[in-house]
Amino acid sequence: MRKGYLGLDIGSISTKGVVIDERGEVVASSYLWTEGSPIRAALAVVADLERGLAGSGVEVVAAGTTGSARELIGTIVGAQVVKNEITAHAMGTLSRHPDVRTIFEIGGQDSKIILLRDGVPVDYAMNTLCAAGTGAFLSAQARRLGVPVERFGELALQSRQPTKIAGRCTVFAESDLVHKMQMGYALEDIVAGLCNAIVSNYLNNIGKGKRIEPPIVFQGGVSKNVGVVEAFRRATGHDVLVDEMGHLMGAIGIALLARASGIEEPFDFSVREASFTTRGVECGGCPNNCEVVCVLREAEPLAGWGNRCERGLERAKAAL
C-alpha cells in the first residue's frame, strides 16, 4: 500500500478535495457545490474521494482542511492540519510552479492576491467585503444577459470594441450594464466590457500598491473564463498562466501540508455516514454573553467556537 494525504478546501460556493500520494501526485479529486451546507458538501466530497481511490492501492494516513469552514470541517474529519487559504494556495501553486512570483485568485465570493519571492509568500491581500469582480458577480450578470456563464469567455474574445462597464461596485456595475443593454450595445462588447471591469476592479482594489511580477498564475473558478484571462494579460502586460488544476490548488496545498506534518493515522472514511449538526448557545455566565457555536456528532458535543474562556464552552455543552 502507498501512503496518501487528503486535503479539503471548503469555500462559500464550492468544496474541493484531493488525495495525493507520497510524490505529491493527485490520485483522486472532487469538486462539489457547497450550497449553504459545508458539512454536507465536505462529507459528500470525502465519499467521492473514497470512490476515486478504489483499486489505487493508496491508504490515506493524514488529512488537512482549509477555506472558510476549515475549523468546522477539520474537527469533523479529524484533520491533522488546519491552515488558512493564503498558506494553502501558496503551497499548492509552488508545488506545480516553483518559480511563481504572483498568484491571482478569484473565487465565488472573494478574491485574493499572493506575492512570492524565492518561494516564500511575502505579501497578500483579500477582498471579502464586496462581490464585485467575483464568480458570483459574473454568474449574476450572465443570468441578466441570458447567456450561460460558460460562454462568457468565447463571446468576450469575439469583441472588437469592448463596452466600458463601471466595475468598482456591484450596484453600479449592474446599473451600467442595464443602461448599455438598453442603448443597444452588441452582446459580445458588453461581455468583454464585464471581463475588463472585473480585472480593473481586482487590480485597483486588492492589487493596489502591489508589485506584480511574472511568472503570474491565475486560479479560482473565474480563471476558467478565457475573456478574463485575456483581460489580465492586456492589463498587466505579462503572460498569465492558468493551471488545469487551478480550481483544486487550495486542496492540493493543504494535502501537502498534511504530508509535511509527519503526523500519521489511518483516515476514517466512515465519517461520511455519521450525523453532524451545529447549534448556537448563549453562555450568559458573564457580561460578555458569548455566543458559542457547537458541533455535535450523533447528538454528542464534539467541539465549539466563539467562547472567550473555557467556562463558556463548558456551559454551552451543558446546555445542549
Residues 19-45: tens digit of each pLDDT: 999 999 999 999 998 888 999 999 999
Range list for CATH 3.30.420.40 in the chain = 2-92+250-273, 98-242
Q: Which residues contact 163 (CB under 8 A, 6 or more apart)?
A: 180, 185, 189, 190, 192, 193
**Residue 193 binned pLDDT confidence (cut-offs 50, 70, 90):** confident
Q: Which of 34-38, 81-85, 161-165 has the lowest mean pLDDT?
A: 161-165
For residue 209, with 0-12 CB atoms within 10 Å meaning exposed, 13-18 middle and 19 or more buried, which class applies? exposed
Note the pLDDT of residue 168. Answer: 64
Note the pLDDT of residue 167. Answer: 62
For the structural domain made of 98-242, what CATH number should be given? 3.30.420.40
**Residue 299 binned pLDDT confidence (cut-offs 50, 70, 90):** confident
Q: Name the strand (E) or helix (H) holding 73.
A: helix 70-77
Q: Quick one: CATH architecture of 2-92+250-273?
A: 2-Layer Sandwich (3.30)
> Quick check: 73 pLDDT over 70?
yes
Q: Which of 13-17, 157-161, 233-237 has the lowest mean pLDDT?
A: 157-161
What secondary structure does DSSP assign to 105-158, as a single string?
A: EE-SS-EEEEEEETTEEEEEEEE-S--TTSHHHHHHHHHHHT--GGGHHHHHHH
Buried b (16+ CB within 10 A) or exposed e, 95-124: ebbeebbbbbbbbbbbbbbbbbeeeebeeb
Supply the mean pLDDT for the chain: 88
Residue 299 cell numbers, joined: 447528538
Strand partners, 132: none
- Cell 506534518 maps to which residue? 261
Q: Which of 15-19, 136-140, 161-165, 224-228 has the lowest mean pLDDT?
A: 136-140
Distance of CA 283 to the CA centre of its chain: 32
- State what percent of residues in the chain have pLDDT above 70: 96
Q: Taking residues 290-295, what's their average pLDDT?
A: 88
d(CA 158, CA 191): 10
Strand partners, 279: 294
**Residue 250 binned pLDDT confidence (cut-offs 50, 70, 90):** very high
Is 299 or 129 the better-scoring residue by pLDDT? Answer: 299
Q: Is the peptide bond before 162 cis (omega within 30 degrees of 0)?
A: no
> Quick check: 256 pLDDT over 90?
yes
Strand partners, 240: 216
- State what percent of residues in the chain have pLDDT above 90: 51
Is 22 or 282 the better-scoring residue by pLDDT? Answer: 22
d(CA 181, CA 144): 10
Name the DSSP letter for residue 186.
Answer: -
Angstrom CA distances, 46 to 92, 226, 289, 302, stand at 19, 31, 36, 19
Q: Taking residues 231-239, what's their average pLDDT?
A: 95
Q: Which of 55-64, 114-123, 133-142, 249-258 has the lowest mean pLDDT?
A: 133-142
> Quick check: 212 pLDDT over 90?
yes
